[in-house]
Structure 1
Amino acid sequence: MKILTTDEIKDELIEKIKSKKIDNKLIIVSQGPNDEGIAYKNFLVKRSVAFNIAYEYKNFENNVAKEEILDYLNSQRKDDGFIIIMPFANNEYLSFLRDKVLIKDLDGFTYRSQGRVMAGIFDSLPATSKAIARTITKFSEIKGKSITLANSTNLIGLPLALYLSKNGATVSIMNSSTKNPVELVKNSDIFISAIGKANYFDKKYFRDGQLLIDVGSSVVNGMVIGDIDYENLEDLDVDVITHKKGIGAITTLSLIESLISKE
């Protein structure tokens, strides 16, 4: 087993962001965020401060009308970028907001962005999907590869599957109803997991020659654990991107990068 890192990708993104003057603002919106959502918001604020980027955070009460959230977002400058922290208390508001928000979408949230993803446009991917796609390109090819995703959310599995298939990969999305999951994963060239179940995928799922990307994280006895049980893979010839120094390190940078106005 060889453990890879995304340090080089991270450094390239940092240099790119530092080289640009970013005058537009990062707008962070939440409604009843959980601990993970608050932690993500705090990390985005930390990144904004580090790059001297203006930001604004707004947490809406659970009983606020969806029109008030929309008015707040659309009152910002057109080039200001927004992200909605998930989970969002009133999930029924999300479809309304996806259709109506007009300012810059930094995380593949709006229907406009989702349509561009269907056309294979990299810049419209959600930040996590963009980070994963960057990582695959760094260490492998996309075209002609068999790729399995253990995630079917709007932020990771679905947009990433569209993008990868549009760029020549054969993509499978597995879920709890998938038949023969071990065989499916083992027959893949690249496996990506983001299910948040500690050490769920053990040695029986894998074979020599694969690229494994672990995006999941769970807290067990105070420790953050990924989806893949790495300790069982020592004697396999696999390349692994672990949950540490992996996708998370470049997700927030990919989101900040999206603030950069196109020339």
Structure 2
Amino acid sequence: MKCTELSNNIMKELKKEKILKKICIVQVGDREDSNRYIKNKIRKCNELGIEVELKKFKEDEIDNLKLREIIGMANLMRLPLFVQLPLPEHLDETLVHNIDYSMDIDGFGYETLGRIVAGHSNKYPCTPKGILTILESITDLEGKDVLIINRSFHIGKTLALMLTDKDCTVTVAHSKTKNLQDKIDNADIIITAIGKANYFNADNFKKGQIVIDVSINFDDDGKICGDISKNEYEKLNKKGVLFTEVPNGVGLMTTTSLMEQIKNL
């Protein structure tokens, strides 16, 4: 299941009205994956007429005080802000939670989280939002048993709240979970964000299940892959498992979700 058509349809709707907005992206370091993500985000913004100011720093050019100042100034100037994660170890990632709700296009602010817990937020972290868009495009979520293999704030915890609000029964698994395969066997929907290249194969899943592969990994040859081995895609199709591919899957929908949230500011 490629998400290209779904993303294209959403972008087509967004393009019907020019989005005259400016955003700021902060990047620290020169990670290959971050460069790729930011390039895609800027390209999508250009398609919609969104002006992008990229503040790119070398790792030794910025400290927590400087990052705090950038976030505070963006809040003061009412400038929508996106901080590319992960940040280098010397920087405190929790600072991104201080982005004002009205400027929080990536959905990581403390107020955003509080509104999600309360069940009345109109923005979300973009990866969970993209996953929810994918699922709602292919199935009725009411009553579904969902297994999320990730407990991070950016994915697992937030997505669990969002899916609970959609009347799913959610189980959150992680590195300490016992009998993971039993939990996979009992799920209608599996969302994996383990972050290990080629961790799963076709034998882990059964006919009728929906599997969302969130991870962007690199295999031994330096090629992009997910948690599910690409060599297993044909077997999964024959088995009747509906799954997202890597690339052109969740990553694409994450960027598309960011565009939707910029439009809705």
- Fold shared, TM-score > 0.5 on shorter chain: yes
Q: How far has the Cα of 1:90 moved from its partner?
A: 5.8
Aligned equivalent of 2:27: 30
For 1:173-223, what per-residue CA distance to the aligned partner results, in whole angstroms no more than 9, with x for missing partners?
111110100111111000111222122112332122101111212222132
Match of 2:255 among 249, 252, 255: 252
Aligned equivalent of 1:194: 193
Query: Structure 1 CA distance, aligned partners of 2:102 and 2:52?
Result: 14
The amino acid across from 1:225 in the alignment is C
Give identity over the alignment, percent: 30
1:43 and 2:71 are equivalent in the alignment:
no
Aligned 8 A contact 1:183 1:205 in 2: no
Aligned equivalent of 2:180: 181
Q: How far has the Cα of 1:235 moved from its partner?
A: 4.2
Aligned 8 A contact 2:63 2:90 in 1: no
Relative contact order higher in (CA < 8 Å, ≥ 6 apart)? 1
- List, as ranges, runs of 4+ consecutive aligned residues in structure 1 with deviation greater than 6 Å: none
Instruction: Flag the 1:11–1:97 CA change in 2: closer, same or farther, 3 A.
Output: closer
Query: Structure 2 CA distance, aligned partners of 1:204 and 1:69?
Result: 48
SS in 2 for 1:163: helix
SS in 2 for 1:259: helix
The amino acid across from 1:106 in the alignment is I
Instruction: Flag the 1:91–1:156 CA change in 2: closer, same or farther, 3 A.
Output: farther
Unpaired stretches in structure 2, ≥5 consecutive residues: none
Match of 1:59 among 39, 56, 59: 56
Unpaired stretches in structure 1, ≥5 consecutive residues: none
Aligned equivalent of 1:210: 209
1:17 and 2:51 are equivalent in the alignment:
no
Q: How far has the Cα of 1:75 moved from its partner?
A: 3.8
Aligned 8 A contact 2:82 2:105 in 1: yes
Aligned 8 A contact 2:75 2:103 in 1: no
Q: How far has the Cα of 1:109 moved from its partner?
A: 0.9
Aligned 8 A contact 2:105 2:261 in 1: yes
Give TM-score scaled by structure 1 length: 0.88
Q: For residues 84-163 of structure 1, what are the structure 2 equivalents within 5 Å?
A: 84-89=83-88, 93-99=92-98, 101=100, 103-121=102-120, 123-163=122-162
Give TM-score scaled by structure 2 length: 0.88
**How many residues end up aligned between the 2 structures?**
257
Aligned equivalent of 2:70: 69
Q: How far has the Cα of 1:136 moved from its partner?
A: 0.5
Query: Structure 1 CA distance, aligned partners of 2:121 and 2:101?
Result: 20
Aligned equivalent of 1:223: 223
